[in-house]
Amino acid sequence: MKQLWEGVFAKNPVLVLALGLVPAVAITTTAMNGLVLGIVAALVLTAAAIINWVLIPHVPANAKLPVRVLVLILLVVAAYSLLLSQNPGFVASLGIFLPLIAFDDLLLRAGDEDSSFSGAVLKACGQGLGFTLVLLVLGIIREFLGLGSIFGRQIVSGALAPLSLAGSVPGGMVILGLLLALVNLVTKRGGELHD
Amino acid sequence: MTNGLEVLAQTVVSGNLLLVYGLGLYVLTRYTKNVREAAAAGITVFTGMLVGSVLLWLCAPIIPGSPVPKVGFYLLVGLVAGLVASGLLKQGYKAVDSAVVGLLLLLGSGGVTGVQNVWMALGAGLGFFLVLVVMASIRRRLELAPIPKPLRGLPIMLITTGLLAIALLGFRF
């Protein structure tokens, strides 16, 4: 269970490892977008970790990256097809960022450096959960600042002018930067770029 | 030609992939420790984009019409373009990147066809290269600046990139 909780907190993909930054700044304009993309990414990450754990040890070193990407492409296309048949609105609002998770640096590491099968799955589940949590929090903050609502429900209207910049990618970068600084302040980290 | 140059200017500045779409943040955070490293990564991604756009141009007759196979096709072209660019340049950094594939998906969703693909890839690659080099220079200065500890590293880098992007939003034309 240690691997599971590490992925959520101590080794959170976005807040600690600085992975998955593209969806974090680009798609979290609303809480729902963040939640949906987070869930899809978490499911794809876990499935990729299982497949890679079985497949990758048998692949030559110089072919590992293409094989990892091919596995992700298959899984992402399947997820895209499923989501398109169930809710085309979500596919439209996630735009290019839904298929793009096939090339996300977080998902490309699925099933990496894990000796046991359960370890690989738990790590992927933890990272997926941690990733979804951050995307959800960012989505809530940005939707509240940008539209004055959370999950489409109006919280403030009229009293405060909406900060439309919060809904843009540059605004997302600034908000994620401030969130990271807040996490660093609470956890007493900071000073180095998290490589 | 004027149309091509207009597209080029738009993709370099007002439609910058990194600043406007947030694509390629992994490269930005990992490969901008110095200008040389940033330039090398920028050239690799630039080559990937160019190869991808040429492939799209050549493969235009066989691009699937329905959405699911179309998405799969663009992702596969992105993978091939990244591998070809990495093979051509033989550098440590692999061009299998979200910026390359993101551009191809944007070209596909925007209905861009023919030689326009190449013009847009030229502009996008040049814009990406310039941002990496500029951010590497800014990062050098940030390392020497008296920044509060929680803001150091990734937070200040993201905030600076965001502010640079906000400044560029003023150049939308």
Say yes or no: A63 contacts chain B, CB-CB below 8 A: no
Q: In terms of CA atoms, which chain B residue is nearest residue A170?
A: B162
Instruction: Quick: pLDDT tens for B11-38.
Output: 888 789 999 999 999 999 999 999 999 9
Contacting B residues, span 138-157, partner chain A, CB-CB under 8 Å: 148-157
Segment B165-169 shows an average pLDDT of: 86
**Is A164 exposed, middle or buried, given 0-12, 13-18 or 19+ CB atoms closer than 10 A?**
exposed
Q: What is the DSSP letter of B149?
A: G
Say yes or no: A2 contacts chain B, CB-CB below 8 A: no
Question: In chain B, what are the domain boundaries?
Answer: 9-169
Q: Which residues of A touch B98 (CB under 8 A)?
A: 22, 100, 103-105
Cβ within 8 Å, pair B102-A184: no
Residue type at B93 in one-letter notation: Y
Q: How many residues does chain B have?
A: 173
What does each C-alpha distance from B43 to B25, B93, B111, B122, B127 come to in angstroms? 16, 10, 26, 11, 11
Segment B130-150 shows an average pLDDT of: 92
Question: Long-range contacts made by residues B88-94, C-beta under 8 angstroms, separation at least 24?
Answer: B88/B47, B88/B51, B89/B43, B89/B44, B89/B47, B91/B40, B91/B44, B93/B27, B93/B31, B93/B40, B93/B41, B93/B44, B94/A65, B94/B44
CA-nearest of A105, A141, A121, A139 to A22 is A105
- Segments of chain A scoring below 50 in pLDDT: 194-195
Helix H or strand E encompassing A43: helix A31-55
CA gap B117, B101 in Å, rounded? 13
- pLDDT (0 to 100) of residue B5: 76
- pLDDT (0 to 100) of residue A111: 80
Segment B61-79 shows an average pLDDT of: 94
CA-nearest of A39, A1, A8 to A23 is A39
- pLDDT (0 to 100) of residue B172: 64
* Test mutation, A21, A91, A103, A108, chain B, max B CBs within 10 A: A103
CA gap B37, A182 in Å, rounded? 30
Cβ within 8 Å, pair B75-A73: yes
- pLDDT (0 to 100) of residue A156: 83
Q: Is residue B124 scored above 90 in pLDDT?
A: yes
Judge whether A28 and A151 are in contact, CB under 8 Å.
no
Q: In terms of CA atoms, which chain A residue is nearest residue B69?
A: A77
What does each C-alpha distance from B28 to A152, A156, A191, B22 come to in angstroms? 33, 36, 18, 10
| Both tokens assigned to A160 | 């405060």
**More confident site: B79 or A112:** B79
Q: Is A193 helix (H, G, I), strand (E, B) or coil?
A: coil
Q: Is residue B71 scored above 90 in pLDDT?
A: yes
Say yes or no: B83 contacts chain A, CB-CB below 8 A: yes
Say yes or no: B60 contacts chain A, CB-CB below 8 A: no
- pLDDT (0 to 100) of residue A110: 87
Cβ within 8 Å, pair A181-B151: yes
- pLDDT (0 to 100) of residue A21: 95
Judge whether A89 and A61 are in contact, CB under 8 Å.
no
**What ipTM does the predicted assembly reach?**
0.92
A73, A81, A194 member nearest B76 (Cβ): A73
Cβ within 8 Å, pair A190-B166: no
CA-nearest of B112, B105, B109, B53 to B81 is B53
| Both tokens assigned to A192 | 């180095």
Only one residue has tokens 């400044």, namely B167
Residue type at A53 in one-letter notation: W
| pLDDT tier for residue B57 given thresholds of 50, 70 and 90 | very high
- pLDDT (0 to 100) of residue A192: 58
Q: Which residues of B touch A84 (CB under 8 A)?
A: 67-68
Cβ within 8 Å, pair A177-B149: no
What residues pair up with A154 in beta bridges, in sequence order? A149
In chain B, the percentage of residues whose pLDDT exceeds 90 is: 65
**More confident site: B90 or A58:** A58
Say yes or no: A88 contacts chain B, CB-CB below 8 A: no
Segment B153-171 shows an average pLDDT of: 90
Residues with Cβ within 8 Å of B158's Cβ and at least 6 positions away in sequence, in order, are A21, A25, A173, A174, A176, A177, A180
- pLDDT (0 to 100) of residue B100: 94
Q: Is A154 helix (H, G, I), strand (E, B) or coil?
A: strand
CA gap B19, B130 in Å, rounded? 11
Say yes or no: B80 contacts chain A, CB-CB below 8 A: no
Say yes or no: A67 contacts chain B, CB-CB below 8 A: no
Q: Which residues of B touch A18 (CB under 8 A)?
A: 29, 154
Which runs of E-coded beta strand occur in chain A? 149-150, 153-154
- pLDDT (0 to 100) of residue B87: 85
The pTM for the full model equals 0.92
Q: Which residues of A touch B24 (CB under 8 A)?
A: 22
Q: Which residues of A touch B75 (CB under 8 A)?
A: 73, 76-77, 99, 102-103
Say yes or no: A81 contacts chain B, CB-CB below 8 A: yes
- pLDDT (0 to 100) of residue B1: 47
Judge whether A134 and A22 are in contact, CB under 8 Å.
no
